[in-house]
Every structure is written in structure tokens, then in C-alpha cells.
Chain A
């Protein structure tokens, strides 16, 4: 017995010694050198076929490997990329494109207008299912004139065709490679023409990229990128704090503020082109305009911003973010609980006889979503609206919206990297699109007309009017311009974009 006890003690001491030895190991070289970068990313690309999905969270990853026909500057202005010039016909049904002649795929072959035709038109003809095909369902042909010139032929005017080509799922893929290995394998072994080549990919774990030396644009200063897929925000916080990552996004606001004060780290809280809004049904309890406006007047957006976003999220009165063409400077929808009560009283409701409505929300899809829904329900309760909160998942949201089965109101977050008002008010208030809970045909008719207006100034003017009309009629309740958070090592020079893109090809180490 004593022997065993002695043995156990020895074992324990040995284990303790091993533990201490482990803690005394030299500090692991988590930090990368000056030409490499480790990023913690919250979303894994479901596929490496970039035209398949319109997923905002992975657009920046795709932009590292693939090229879009055109791209955007940090201030959202559309600028040339692979397509160096474009011209739209007066009727908006034909778009001439001119390509650069110095763009190469990662296997060394040249990118031509044929690749563009294949991506946008032929793949659809071959039955390749993709979100891109759905976006360009009116594209009837792409006529290739030469290696660097082609014309898109549309069955209906598409004034936003150029902004769209810098948006989701709009990436050019190599015809020769997809045809050689097949659509399915391309989703695992992609070749792009972007600033980085995919070197290694392990699903749900990491992506390794290396700079492409024949890239047509500015050569990336950071030569090697490792993207660690970290879905859990606390893991991202731990990774940046421990030095296992050089940059992480989407950490909670308070953590971002705290980490920004840690020596060797910086944090940014960046307003982006994401609108947090309440989607409104045009029927049921919200068929009454007084009720809709009362619900809107009862919401203290400043308080929501302070409580959930450290005051960094900008309160909105129209469905557009500051700095985008559809934003209406000077228009403000007031927080006025007294007016809310008066409006409700006109319709026969009040704190003693509350109006009962449903409020759908996500929990964890965008920062503070569920907490915001609860806060709004509390604000409404004070004026005489009782909201039953129903937490739904994203797939359920799409299903309910398609079936016109959402409750009176839904807390929603809407990303629009282009900043174009068509993708704000145009999509959110067009009853014929499944993004819209508002089914009033009057607003819908105006928007459908704007969908065909080719003149830029007239189109933007129209959308601004609709945005103000929608708010003043209670068709939409824009709440806040959402923010994203970045935490990174202080030696890293980052380039924020108004749409939240994190593009390490534009970054460098100081």
C-alpha cells in the first residue's frame, strides 16, 4: 500500500513537473512574420464555386481568390477591375464591356471575355444552378466580339447591372478549368485570377492563401494569408488576445472596446452598409397607419445604439446608410412616445387596452438581435403595444416570408455592399420580391418603374422619395446603421471599406 502511495506521489510529481515544463516552453511563435497574416473568420465558404451563393459574409474571402468584373473603392464608388470600361445602351438592355488584356488565371492561362460569357451565360445554359444565374435571369446572351470585348444582352433594362457586377456571387470563373474538372470538383479545387491562390483548404478549420505573382493589380504586400475559421466569438477574442490571430472581426462591442486598450492591439468599430430594420406587414394589425407610425415613434433608437452598440450605430430614418446615394440627409423620424400614445389612442389602443402583435427575431444572427427585440418590446409596452417575441432561424425566416406568413413585424438586418438604393428600398419594399414583408401594391408599382429607369440621377431621386414616403407612411421602420468590429495587432495597417469588406490584399505591416 505504501509502495503504491509512493508511486502515486511520484506519478503526481512527475505530471506536475511535466505541466510546469510545458508552461516554461518558449513562447510559441503564433505571431506571423511581416509578410504573412493570420485572420480569424466567422464563416466558412460553403463552396469554392463563387457564383453559387449570395452570402455577404464570404464575399471578401472570394475577392481574395477571384476577380469581380468591377469592384468598389473604400467609399463604395464602382471602379474598374477586370472590366476596364463599360457602356450601357440608352434602353438599359445592352451593356458593352471591355476587359483588361493582362489578367491571368492562377494556372497561367489568360482570362478573356469567353470566361465572362461562360460564367454569366453558358453555365446557366448548361444547367449549373447558381445564385448568379438567378440574379441575371434576364440575361439572354453574351456576344463576344474579341478576347477583350463582349456585350451583355438583356431582355429587360437592368440599370444596376454594373453595381451588381461588384456584388454578391459576381465572380468570373475559368471556363477551361471548370470544364476540365467539372462543376462539382471546381467547388473544391478552384482556380481564380485574384490576388491570392488557394494553397490549402480544410473545411470548418482553415484556408491558406499565397500571393499570385502574375496578379494584374497592385501586388499584395502580405504574401501569405491563413484564415482560421472561428465561428465562436469568444474563440476569436481569445485568438487575438493570445496572439494566435493577427486580425479578427465581429467580436462583441464591449470586447472590441476592451481589446483596443490592450497593449499591442487596436480595435475599430466601423459603421457599414448594413441596415437594421423592422420589416412591416401591410395587413393585420399594421394595416392601420396610426398603429404603424405609433410603433415607430415609440422606439428610442439612440438608446438602442447606446445599449447594444456602445453608441456607435447610427440611428436611421430611411432604409439607406449615410454616405450611400439613397440616404436622405436632413430627414428625421422622431422618437416621440407621447405622439405614439396619441396615435394609438386614435385607433382605440393604449396601455389599458394594448394592441397585440407578433415580433419575429433572430438570436445570434447579427450582434444584439434578440436583446434589441426585447428592448423594442419593452418600449412598445410603455405606449400600449404588446409584442409576442418569436425567435426564428434564418431558414425559417425565408420560408415564412416566401409564404407571406411572417408576423406583423420582424427584426431584420439587411446588407447591401453596393450601397445602391435599389438593393435597399427597392428590394425591401417591392412586394413581388421575397425580401419584402410589405405587400402594398402602391409602393410596389413605383419601385417596379424605378427598376427600369436607366438615368442615374432620376433613379436615385426616385428612390430617395420612396425611402421618405415608406418611413412617413410606416411601411418601413429603419432602426440603425449596423457596425462591424475589427481587432488587430497594432503593427497591421488595414483599409476599412464602407461596406465592411476586409481585403488583406490592400493591407500591410508597418
Chain B
């Protein structure tokens, strides 16, 4: 079994490499085609034409696009994504400083989405045919139709301003500082034994993670409900009922196990989108992740950062999908045979 999983993993990684290359080409070319000069923000406003031209040459922007790409990609595969134009720092370092915050946020959002989605799906199935199902359906539609950034603002107004019970800026209370060991604040708090800071960090993550999760949870809820309805009249369910098993046991041991696989596949796709959702949510919550970094880079036409972060997004999406595929294979032996 492990060999099978390993084989699938290796095959998927082999496919991922050309995909990442294609993403890199696409991002690079598109960024070169937009009508904006990347060095416009990197030279002082009173720079002379000679100074501008010298900088352009130094950055290789005078070369044909293909040559520029070859140079950039050649360096990127050994971990050199160039230097940020606006921040004058290596892109890899900037991403390395920001990525852990985003990963923590996305993981918490995924946990929230899973809990809300699965429990909601089960609840909707349980309430099928009754007013509760219609009401839950309406609520899930409403939740789904509001974008993450509006939830983000709504939560700030509700929990931050009106109720004044939750923080909504940054990652820690202003009076607290925690040393940087791994960049993952929750882990760093544990390393230093700072449990008050850990609580503060979790409170700071609560609203952005919830705002992100609300874009995903209703979909999971609906797919799980549909899958449960599909399996509800399967022979094994009927047999289980005839054998007198309690409905709760039938639901959780038989129906849920089989209905979960389509939901799991959807989770793979949706959790990839969580990374995209961080762009605005991180800005609204002053959360120092790569979404915030990306928005700043776009504002400054900071091509090296945009390229680097786009690649990180691509790798994250592929990694999440790979993980979900492997989990599906692990849970469903039939898929392993098919593969």
C-alpha cells in the first residue's frame, strides 16, 4: 500500500514540475506585457535618463523577454528569486519572513472550514425535509454569496468595534513581543513557554481565519449533504438499518465514510483557494503574510516579489492537491487499483 502511495506521489510530483514551470513562464510573460515600468518606483523622482537606463541594464530589463526569463528561472531554481525593487531585500528572505504567518492562518481557516462544513453537512442531512434544512440552506447560500473581505470588515465591526471582544490588527497584543525562532508564531510562543502570548496570537487569528473559512465551509456543507443523500438508500445502508443499528452509528460509520470522499476532493480545491483569499483579508487585518506582501508588491509593480509569491501560490496549490489525493487514496483502496 505504501509503495502504491509513494508511486502516486512521485508521479504527481513529476507532473507538478512542468506545471510550475508553465506557471513561472505565464506569470513572467504576463508581468512583462503589462503597460507599467517596473523601475518607475525604484528610482528617485529626479533621476536622470542616464541613471534610469543604467538601472534598467543592471536589472536586465533591456534584454529580450526570453533572455530575462532564462536568467530569472536559472537563478530561481537554485533559490535566488532576485531582489525586491521596493524593499531592496532578497525576495526569498521576504517570502520566508511572511510565509509562516500565512500558513498558520490558512491551516486555522481550513480547520474552521472543515468543522463548520462537515458539522453543517451532517446537520442538514439530519434535518432533511424539514424547515431546519431550508433555513440552513438559505444561511449557507447567504454566507457563500458574501466575499471573504466583506466578512472580514463585518467581523471587525461586530467583534472588534461593537462588542469590542476580539483584536483585529496584527498577530499579537501591542504590549507583547515574542522572539522569532521558526516564524510560526504559535510554535515560537510554545518554544518560549509564553502561553499568554499564545492565547493572544490565537485570538488575533480568530477573525481572519473565520472570514477565510466562510468562503469554503458552505460548499463543503452542501457537497457533504448531497453525498449523504446519494448514499442514504444504498444497499449497505438499508442492510444496516435492517440489522437494527442506531441511525447515528449508520450515519457516522457507513454513510459518512462513503460520502466523505467527494467532500475531500472538494476540500483540496477549496483549501487551495484559501491562499488566494489571504490577499485582501491579510491587508484588512494588518496580518503580515504573503498575501499582504503580494498586495504591496502589486502596488509598487515589484516584479521580483510578484513572481516569487506567484510561484509560492502555485506550489501551495499543487502540494495541497497532492496531499488530498494521497489522503483519498489512503481512505479508498478502490482508487489505488484504478491508479
> Is B44 interfacial (CB 8 A cutoff)?
yes
> Is B97 interfacial (CB 8 A cutoff)?
yes
**A237 to B, closest residue via Cβ:** B161
Given contacts A28-B164, A47-B89, contact A205 B44 (CB under 8 A): no
Interface of chain B, main secondary structure: loop
Q: Is the CB of A200 within 8 A of B126?
A: no
Q: Is the CB of A5 within 8 A of B126?
A: yes
Q: Is the CB of A241 within 8 A of B161?
A: yes
Q: Is the CB of A52 within 8 A of B88?
A: yes
A238 to B49, CA, bound (A): 45
A27 to B160, CA, bound (A): 11
> Is B301 interfacial (CB 8 A cutoff)?
yes
Q: Is the CB of B46 within 8 A of A135?
A: yes
> Is A441 interfacial (CB 8 A cutoff)?
no
Q: Is the CB of A232 within 8 A of B248?
A: no
* Chain A positions 168 through 208: 1 when the CB is less than 8 Å from some CB of chain B, otherwise 0: 00000000000000001001100000000001101111101
Q: Is the CB of B44 within 8 A of A399?
A: no
Q: Is the CB of A435 within 8 A of B45?
A: yes
Q: Is the CB of B169 within 8 A of A244?
A: yes
How many residues on chain B are close to A (CB under 8 Å)?
A: 63
Binds B, one of A88-96, A321-329, A353-361, A389-397: A389-397
Binds B, one of A222-230, A311-319, A465-473: A222-230
Q: Is the CB of A7 within 8 A of B248?
A: yes
Given contacts A230-B286, A396-B40, contact A11 B126 (CB under 8 A): no
> Is B275 interfacial (CB 8 A cutoff)?
no
> Is A139 interfacial (CB 8 A cutoff)?
no
> Is B51 interfacial (CB 8 A cutoff)?
yes
- Contact count band on A: 35 or more
Given contacts A134-B51, A135-B46, contact A238 B168 (CB under 8 A): yes
- Tell me which residues from 203 to 236 in chain A have a Cβ below 8 Å from any Cβ of chain B: 203-206, 208, 226, 228-232, 234-235
- Tell me which residues from 230 to 283 in chain B have a Cβ below 8 Å from any Cβ of chain A: 246-248, 251, 282-283
Q: Is the CB of B169 within 8 A of A239?
A: yes
Chain B positions within 8 Å of A, measured between CB atoms, are 35-38, 40-41, 43-47, 49, 51-52, 55, 86-90, 94, 97-98, 119, 122-123, 126, 153, 156-157, 160-161, 163-175, 177, 246-248, 251, 282-288, 292-293, 296, 299-301
A-B contact pairs, 20 of them (CB 8 A): A1-B247, A4-B122, A8-B122, A28-B167, A36-B174, A44-B296, A134-B43, A135-B44, A184-B89, A202-B288, A203-B94, A204-B288, A234-B153, A239-B169, A241-B161, A242-B160, A242-B164, A244-B169, A395-B37, A396-B40
Beyond A134-B43, A205-B171, A434-B47, list 6 extra A-B contacts (CB 8 Å).
A208-B174, A230-B286, A235-B284, A238-B160, A244-B168, A395-B40
Chain A positions within 8 Å of B, measured between CB atoms, are 1-5, 7-8, 11, 22-23, 25, 27-30, 32, 36, 38, 40, 44, 46-47, 49, 52, 54, 129, 131, 134-135, 184, 187-188, 199-200, 202-206, 208, 226, 228-232, 234-235, 238-239, 241-245, 393-396, 398-399, 402, 427, 433-435
